[in-house]
């Protein structure tokens, strides 16, 4: 189980989570859990119109079986658990229920947790917490200030930055498990709705080490 998150918007968390899911699905059935609502668009899929994981969490009685029935096919051995339409308050205990449901499923699971520290209940002890961050002083500063500590960092590198992987590791206190170079080809693939069928090597190659 992998939980991808960031401390600032625009870091590339959704694309990293989608790409990681696609890579994992090549060898094992995989579910991408979309807590932000952007995963279908990033993968070039039709926008789901039915309920999703946020609707499931808003109910105090729905069990794990009901959660997995909400998943929709994405590609081959990959499914997406869409965010849904609920905008209501999520009780704290439902995050633990979600974490339990995800951690006991037989498929590989990747969670796009968006911006901010993932709720404690969403992170079972064996989950891999991946912070997606750019080598930007403001982003790293915000990551240091957060209470959550990732188990690994996916560093989206950019030319001309003063900070390198070693600097980011020392500041945040976690290893960089993948360095993904900024590549316009990735943005073009997302914009054309082709990420699921034409995953650029510039993001696939470094993420294999994190999978």
Annotated domain spans of the chain: 2-208
pLDDT at 125: 76
Please give the angle made by the CA atoms of 151, 210 and 79, to the nearest 5 degrees.
105
pLDDT of residue 33: 97
Give me the residues paired with residue 81 across strands.
Answer: 33
CB within 8 Å of 173: residues ≥ 6 apart: 149
Do the beta carbons of residue 37 and residue 144 sit within 8 Å?
Answer: no
pTM for this model (two decimals) = 0.93
pLDDT score at 194: 93
Ranges of residues in the chain with a pLDDT under 50 are none
Q: Among all chains, which residue has been given the structure tokens 């990732």?
A: 150
What is the predicted pLDDT for the residue at 87? 65
User: Cβ(155)–Cβ(168) under 8 Å?
Assistant: yes
Query: What pLDDT does residue 189 have?
Result: 95
| 137-172 pLDDT per residue, tens | 999 999 999 878 899 999 999 888 999 999 999 999
* Residue 88: per-residue pLDDT: 63
Architecture of domain 2-208: 3-Layer(aba) Sandwich (3.40)
- The per-residue pLDDT for 60 is 74
């Amino acid at each position: 189980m992998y939980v991808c998150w960031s401390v600032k918007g625009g870091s590339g968390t959704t694309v990293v989570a989608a790409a990681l899911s696609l890579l994992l699905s090549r060898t094992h059935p995989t579910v991408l859990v979309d807590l932000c609502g952007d995963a279908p668009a990033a993968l070039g899929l039709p926008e789901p119109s039915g309920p999703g994981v946020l609707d499931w969490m808003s109910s105090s009685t729905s069990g794990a079986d009901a959660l997995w029935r909400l998943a929709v096919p994405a590609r081959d051995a990959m499914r997406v658990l869409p965010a849904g339409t609920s905008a209501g308050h999520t009780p704290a205990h439902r995050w633990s229920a979600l974490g339990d449901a995800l951690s006991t499923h037989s498929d590989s699971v990747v969670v796009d947790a968006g911006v901010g520290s993932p709720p404690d209940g969403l992170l079972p002890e064996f989950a891999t917490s991946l912070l997606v961050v750019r080598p930007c002083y403001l982003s790293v500063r915000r990551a240091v200030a957060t209470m959550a500590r990732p188990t690994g960092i996916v560093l989206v590198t950019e030319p001309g930055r003063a900070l390198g992987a070693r600097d980011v590791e020392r500041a945040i206190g976690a290893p960089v498990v993948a360095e993904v170079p900024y590549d316009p080809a990735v943005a073009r693939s997302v914009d054309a709705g082709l990420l699921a069928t034409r995953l650029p090597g510039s993001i696939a190659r470094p993420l294999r080490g994190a999978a």
